[in-house]
Amino acid sequence: MSLFRVTMTGHGLQLRIENAAPVDAGFVKTEFVLAESEDEASRHAIELVRTQLQRQADEGGLVLKSVDIEVDEVARSMKFWKLMQKEGFVFFPEKEATPNGEALH
């Protein structure tokens, strides 16, 4: 088995923000996984991310609408200590908004 770094981008969820309307959002996430191949690493990383998103939804921080996850990059890595570290999601708004909440076009 080899260690792989899998970088993904996802879309199709909403962030719940206290005292505000939910915000349509996407995310970027990197996972380090052990696998036999790049395809297996991609599948395993996507499964891990879906599980983490579901956990956050169960805790009330997210609404999962129609989550689409794309693998941006898969690369072999030698940073085995990364298996013990859990990196978070980087969320971003799907649409830019003005200060009064109107969407920009």
Query: pLDDT per residue over 68-98, tens digit each?
Result: 999 999 999 887 767 677 778 999 998 765 4
Give the separation between CA 102 and CA 105, rounded to whole angstroms.
10
Tell me, yes or no, whether 42 lies in a domain: yes
Domain membership of residue 100 (yes or no) is no
Owning domain of residue 43: 2-93
Please count the structural domains in the chain.
1
Q: Is residue 99 part of a domain?
A: no
- Split at pLDDT 50, 70, 90, the class of 102 is low
Q: Answer for the pair 8, 69: CB distance below 8 angstroms, yes or no.
A: yes
Q: Is the pTM here over 0.85, yes or no?
A: no
Smallest Cα–Cα separation from 92: which of 14, 1, 26, 10?
Answer: 26
103 has a pLDDT exceeding 60: no
Q: Is residue 27 part of a domain?
A: yes
